Structure 1
Amino acid sequence: MTRRPSLLVRVPASALAAAALLTTAACSDDGDSSGSKASDAAASPLAEESRPASPLAAKTPSPSASARLTEAGAQAALITEGDIEDDWNQVKDAAKWGDTLLIGKVDVAALLTAKANGADCQKLLDALYDDDLLGKPSGASALTGFEQDDSRLLYQVAAYDHARLDASWAWLKTLPVKCDQFTAIDSKGGKRTVQVTQGSLPDVGDARQDLHVTVQGTSNGSPATLSLDVAVVRVGDDAITVTAGGLDGDEHQSTEQAVQKGTPRLKDVLSGKTPAAGPGRTR
């Protein structure tokens, strides 16, 4: 199945003005004139935090705005099968997944809405197959996958460029309208009907998007319907992406559990904490 502007502090030319600023900073820090508690904190091996450029800054930025996700942090933020119910089994080859029902060219002539939307619908199909719905990460990333009968659940954590993540987020919001229903044609000329509808997620993270995607076509010569629940949760410039479902139907309940358990893990990592072990998790 995308950094932060640096904090600049001007140094007044007047010595009197500088003294006034120092006094104000000391008062806002409850009498601690050093104003350097944040800089004394030990750096976390899971998240590298950018710190204020001056001891005059009394307010510590929130983790989602100040922490940079590391490779170790991305791995620590992943969920395991103990975090989701049912009979999901964690697998090692999730990075190689790709459902062939998602391979096809959008039939622009048959679009029910504006023909210009064909590019967005094609982008959606390609992104679902390549597992890069938000584009290529600009920083650390990690993924894991789970299987249950004919269903799969892919879970990804990654850091993105701020502007590109904003653009991807805006694009996702348009898909239930632009790509509500369209036709894709496979390499043999077979037609597939694709539908995209808006879903909902628990109130987690800074923002969230949920899409339900169905692809009706043929698989191994027989009629088949691929149903996917696609969820994205944003925490600052980092994001969790979950794609769950298969020929047995979508897995929305498992998707909800994944983001409910995974979002606090990512926030813990960005705060320099070690995420709590989930049920059945081994250390």
Structure 2
Amino acid sequence: MRRPYRVLARVMALGMLAGAAACVVDDPGHPRGFPEAASVDETTASASPTAPATPALTDARARSALLRQDDLGDAWSGTQGAATWRDGLLKGRTDRPECQALLDAVYAEDVLGEPKGGTAVTGFDDYEYGAQLRYQVGAYDKADVDARLRRLGQLIGTCEEFTITGVQGREYGAEVAPVELPGNLGDARQGLRLIVSGDVEGEDSALTLDLATVRVGDTAALLTHGGLYGIDDTATTEAAQAGIKRLQALLKEQTEKKNEKKDPKKDPKQDKDPKQQQEKKDTKAPSDENSSEEGSSDEARGRPTSRTGALAASASTPPASA
């Protein structure tokens, strides 16, 4: 059942946060985070300068592995832009360095690091819950992603509770908890839930943000799903499963095509039984000798060798290679 009051509440809260964000002065030492350019569906991020000559995933292939609206349901549509709560509630300082690293990574959505090949990103808005979902997929260094996932797991345990001081001096309480992802989802995975609560223009508000990171071979996907009025608890896992399924299908197709190029179809002549080939040679030998003798007899009589005899003589010459 749809909840239209969530939409009205969302509009009011976003308006209040937009006013707060208008007063924000950019902090050069803080990551920028989700760009406004992400409002265009299936935009691509530029590859790293150190990308290999033959990346595992190109930008075009990465786009084909992105989530689609059909994967999410009728309540979702292409995003209209970055939600203002990103700057209003996630951009701030903490008094604990390890928790600052976690907050910065979540705010900038920079959990995977620099891509080593093609990458693409898309976003969706949920008008029922007033939530927003962002999905990024690309080629990355496998060892680097695994190290980042381990570090992320450590920070989840370390930063269960901390305080965020926003750019306007407001303080917000933050809670972090792990999000269990299916054990068969990709080759490695890590999920978390961040809840940021506090006073927003005189009203108590709480942002719930899920983050799921999954590695598949040398590729990885990052999904964030958050909103000010709660989120669908099942949407994060279901979206991650749909995205990884699409990515795995793409990689399987890519591997099959690569194997076909390495192992082209063999020449049918090479598939013949060597024993049968030898028997055929033995059968042809007597006729070849007779043809040769006939040609010699013709030459002795002063007659030119017939064309049929010449072709038979050439056929008796064994091939250069079997």
Give the TM-score normalised by the residue count of structure 1: 0.65
- Give 1:161 deviation, angstroms: 2.2
- For 2:122, the equivalent position in structure 1 comes to 144
- For 2:167, the equivalent position in structure 1 comes to 187
From 77, 94, 97, the counterpart of 1:119: 97
Residue correspondence of structure 1 range 1-283 to structure 2 within 5 A: 68-91=56-79, 93=81, 98-106=86-94, 108=95, 118-149=96-127, 150-202=130-182, 203-272=184-253
Deviations along 1:186-234, one digit per CA (max 9) or x if unpaired, are 1222111111001111231112111011011233443211001111111
- For 1:40, the equivalent position in structure 2 comes to none
Check the 8 A contact 1:98/1:130 in 2, yes or no.
Answer: no
- Give 1:99 deviation, angstroms: 4.2
- Give 1:164 deviation, angstroms: 2.2
- Give 1:135 deviation, angstroms: 2.0
Query: How many positions carry a matched residue from both structures?
Result: 200
Check the 8 A contact 1:198/1:211 in 2, yes or no.
Answer: yes
Q: State the AA in 2 paired with 1:241.
A: L
Q: Percent sequence identity over matched residues?
A: 41
Check the 8 A contact 1:83/1:258 in 2, yes or no.
Answer: yes
Which runs of no fewer than 5 residues in structure 2 stay unpaired? 1-33, 35-53, 256-322
Q: Which protein has the larger Cα radius of gyration, Structure 1 or Structure 2?
A: 2
Check the 8 A contact 2:55/2:139 in 1, yes or no.
Answer: no
Q: Aligned partners of 1:86, 1:183: CA distance in 2, in Å?
A: 37
Check the 8 A contact 1:77/1:262 in 2, yes or no.
Answer: yes
Tell me the secondary structure at the aligned position of residue 248 of structure 2. helix
Check the 8 A contact 2:88/2:166 in 1, yes or no.
Answer: no
Q: Given the superposition, is the C-alpha separation of residues 211 and 144 from structure 1 closer, same or farther in structure 2, using an over 3 Å criterion?
A: same
- Give 1:81 deviation, angstroms: 1.2
Higher helix residue share: 2
Check the 8 A contact 2:146/2:188 in 1, yes or no.
Answer: no
- For 2:313, the equivalent position in structure 1 comes to none
- Give 1:92 deviation, angstroms: 5.8
Q: Given the superposition, is the C-alpha separation of residues 154 and 97 from structure 1 closer, same or farther in structure 2, using an over 3 Å criterion?
A: farther
Query: In angstroms, what is the RMSD of aligned CA positions?
Result: 2.4
Check the 8 A contact 2:80/2:125 in 1, yes or no.
Answer: no
Tell me the secondary structure at the aligned position of residue 112 of structure 2. coil
Q: State the AA in 1 paired with 2:147.
A: A
Q: Aligned partners of 1:224, 1:101: CA distance in 2, in Å?
A: 10
Q: Aligned partners of 2:105, 2:83: CA distance in 1, in Å?
A: 14
Q: State the AA in 2 paired with 1:141.
A: T
Check the 8 A contact 1:79/1:262 in 2, yes or no.
Answer: yes
- For 1:279, the equivalent position in structure 2 comes to none
Structure 1 stretches (4+) deviating beyond 6 angstroms? none
Higher strand residue share: 1
Q: Given the superposition, is the C-alpha separation of residues 67 and 235 from structure 1 closer, same or farther in structure 2, using an over 3 Å criterion?
A: farther
Which runs of no fewer than 5 residues in structure 1 stay unpaired? 2-65, 109-117, 275-283
Deviations along 1:59-90, one digit per CA (max 9) or x if unpaired, are xxxxxxx9701111110000111001350112
Of 125-134 and 188-197, deviating more is 125-134
Q: Aligned partners of 1:89, 1:250: CA distance in 2, in Å?
A: 16
